[in-house]
Structures are given as structure tokens and as C-alpha cells.
Structure 1
């Protein structure tokens, strides 16, 4: 029996976020260049997007490229950018077929012009789709996002458009790149690393965390279902006691 058969659709997370880690190590173990790992990681992305869409999950955010990743070897970065352009171009028809809407968060202005053009084209093409919203975190880091939000709020205060007393959680969230996107209930990280790596730090305050030893290229639909089933077997209390939840 597949893990999928055990999943209760009414208890699925509305928003699933994934740190796709381990492409380089997957390739190294096979004596290949790191970019080969990234190429094989594309298939894991396809399976995950397809699986999430089939289950009816509303939002899927993938940590595709962090601001820190710019510090990697130049040939790997350029290879990743080329792969990104190719993947966006090739997968647009599939996104349309599966009613998937594409969005992106991060310092998108720092991306190469060709990447931005392809990205914006697919975002525009899929804008009317009403199924899964696929969010790519590109040139993203949570500290960058938070500092950027503070700068924008400070600018509004300086212009007299906002007073310090008006700043609230909701106001702050409206200045994040994830404005309009609900917080993820579940965060998955592959490769055996048990850390967050500067990803959605504000948004995952109450997210459930799931870590797997698998490298990202080995992450399949069945592994996605396994993680979702694990999530469904947890008790989410949000500061309350188990007794309070049971009373409700």
C-alpha cells in the first residue's frame, strides 16, 4: 500500500515549503560534476509539484537559490542559471496543463536578465490558473527579506504614510515578499541537514519541520506522501494544551 492511500486529504497542509538540498553531494558520490546533481534534481521538482497538485495542496514553495548561493564557484552558478532558464521554458506547458500558477519571491532584480525574462513570462502566462500555486524562492534569504521590509516601513514612516504605532504583525507581513501567501504548515528539508538556512524565518514560526536523509534528486512522490503522512500524525497546539484541543 502506498503512503498516499493513508493520507487524509482534509488534514493536508495548505502550504508546503521545501529546502531542496543535497544535489551537489548526490553528484559527488557518483563522481560527477555538481551541476549533474542539479540536473537530476529537476526530476524531483517535477514529481513533487505533480504530487502536490494531485493531492490538492494550495501552495508549494521551493527554496531554489539563496542569496548565499551567489558565493558558490562561478561555473556552478552559471550552470544553475542556465538550468533554471531551461527548466522554466520547458515546464511552462506542463504548468498550464496541470493548472499550476507560478510565483517567485526574493531579490529578483539580482537575477540575470534572461532568467528574469523567462520567469516573468511564465508568471504572466500562468497567472489565471486556479490550482496549485508554485512559489520559487530565488536569490532569497529571510534576513534580506526582513531587512528589506524594515527599510520599506521606515520609508513610509519618513513620508508620513505610516506611524510607528500602526506597525503590527499584519503590517509587517504585508511588506514581506510573501504578502498574500499563507504561512507554511509544513517545512521539509532533504539531505540530512537539520537546519533552516535562512529560509522563511518569519513565516515558519509555527511550521512543523520534517528532515530526511535523502538527497534531493532521490526525493520522489512516495517520499512526499511519507512526509505528509508524518505531518498528519502530529498534534499542532499553537501554545495550547492537548486537553484544550480535545475540548474543542
Structure 2
């Protein structure tokens, strides 16, 4: 391999590391401006002084300018979740890179290892957290302690339904709609048999684990940072999620209350 081919190969390797870091971060719920800044800093740390990246929730375009024609690569992002621990670790690896502590190969292995890790909490832990938080939100919205246990039960049941339908349905809208529908139906059932008092407070507390809080926050932060496409698209996704939750509850209230 001559010198020109070695430089070209190093450029491709830098792009692979940057794109891998960007993929991990955007799939784990990071803000668009944070992803772009991290990719640019990694490229600069490895000697790519002229790099450009364009990040959206569904794709990443990255290019590095050199003496040869500009190298550009596009990757598609089809799955997104919330895993802020991965975002934190990806940031930690990028800081090690900018500090000169990791070679190109070591950085790639570190990001590849991070990508393969699944550190999300177990389904049982998620359900318990959703259930307890539902009861606490119900109290926070000035509900009575009589409804605490019903809210805990309904919140956990609704979250289980949401996870279940999310696994069998390809459209996220329907899983959110059906999850909120189960919440409304269970709340109405408990109040009807005398195990609950205020159906509105139970419903409000129970749907809170489904509310897209991080998505709304990222949408606003991206808009403030000037990333209009990403901000508007995330805001639209959050709006559809809120509409699905509201529609599921509205169906129950329309037919049963």
C-alpha cells in the first residue's frame, strides 16, 4: 500500500469511527447538536481538519475533505430508543479521543463494544418503575391517597400493554394508542367496582410514563440550537405520541363514561 492509499484508508477509518459514534448517540436519544459536535471533534482529533456532518433523527450524512475528492457517507437510522447511559459513555469515549488517549483502532473497538451492550433495565424493573411513578404522579396532581394503589396497578398494566403492543406492531402510534386505551379501560373498571375514587386523577397519573418528555425536550433544544429540521421532526413525533395517548383515553371516556 502506497502513501496515497494509506491516507485514503485512514480517512475511511476516521469516517467509520465518527459514524459509529453518531449512530450510537442518535439511537440512544441524544440531541442532534450534541451528535454533530461529537462527530466533528472526533474527526478533528484524528487529523481531519475539514469535516462536515448533517444529522437528522432518521439519518446521518458525514464527509471529510482532503486533497482527493471529498469522501461522503450516508447511514440510515431506523430504530431509536432512550438509553442516556450509552450517550454518556459515548461522550466519555469521545473525550478520551480528544485527549489523545485512544488510537483510531482502539476507539473503533470501544464504540463497537458500546454498541453491542444492552444495559437497559429488565422489563420487570421498568414495569415496577412505571407503576410507582404513576402513583406518585397521581398524588402530585392532587389526587387522594385512596387512589394511590389503583393508579400504581393501572400504570403498571398500561405500561405492560404498551411494551407488548410495541413488540408485535410496527407502527409506534398504535402501541401508544392501545396502551392508553388499556389505562382508560382499567381505570374505569376499578372506579366502577369501588376500588377507585377519582377516575381523572388515576388516568392522568397512569399515562405519565407514556408521555414523550425527553422527545419534547430534545425538540426544543434542537430548535434553539438552530437545527430546524430535527427539531420540527422530533416535535411532530412528540405531538403524534401525545395525540395517540389522548385518543386512547378519549375512546374509553366516550363509550364508557
Q: TM-score, normalised by structure 1?
A: 0.29
Is the strand fraction higher in 1 or 2? 1
Q: TM-score, normalised by structure 2?
A: 0.28
Is the helix fraction higher in 1 or 2? 2
Bigger relative contact order, structure 1 or 2, given CA contacts below 8 A and separation 6+? 1
Bigger Rg, structure 1 or 2 = 2
